[in-house]
Amino acid sequence: MKTEQIFKNYLGSAGKLACILICLYFFLNILFFDTYSFIVFFTSNNRLKKLTVSNERIISQNNQLEMEIEKLKNDQLYIESIARKHFTMVREGETVYVFRRN
């Protein structure tokens, strides 16, 4: 007997429809509703890309802050420039002139 005849005899038209529906159910379940579905995969992949970019930005900021710390520990001229700029400090004997804009 041929395979087609076996399926025709065994399943019939209702059985074929049931088999197709069951296969469709499992396919859709895997595609959309499963824990490891394609939708979860793509959203996780997008989130991973965003987190990678964020991580690289934070690493860059961390490196800049480490360089700033080293300057503050070792460079007296840098410390002086920050004191002058942010805290309006002056050396003894210096005169400060303030110019007003009209």
* DSSP line for 44-56: HHHHHHHHHHHHH
Q: What pLDDT score was predicted for residue 99?
A: 86
- The pLDDT score that the predictor gives to residue 52 is 97
pLDDT at residue 20, as a whole number: 84
What is the predicted pLDDT for the residue at 96? 82
For position 64, what pLDDT does the model report? Answer: 97
The span from the CA of 101 to the CA of 40, in Å, is 59
For the chain, residues with pLDDT lower than 70 are: 1-13
- Residue 77 and residue 71: Cα distance in Å, rounded? 9
Say what the pLDDT of residue 59 is: 98
What's the whole-model pTM score? 0.54
How far, in Å, CA of 65 to CA of 58, rounded? 10
Q: pLDDT at position 7, please?
A: 58
Longest CA span, the chain: 112
DSSP secondary structure letter of residue 7: H
Measured distance CA(43)–CA(36) in Å, rounded: 11
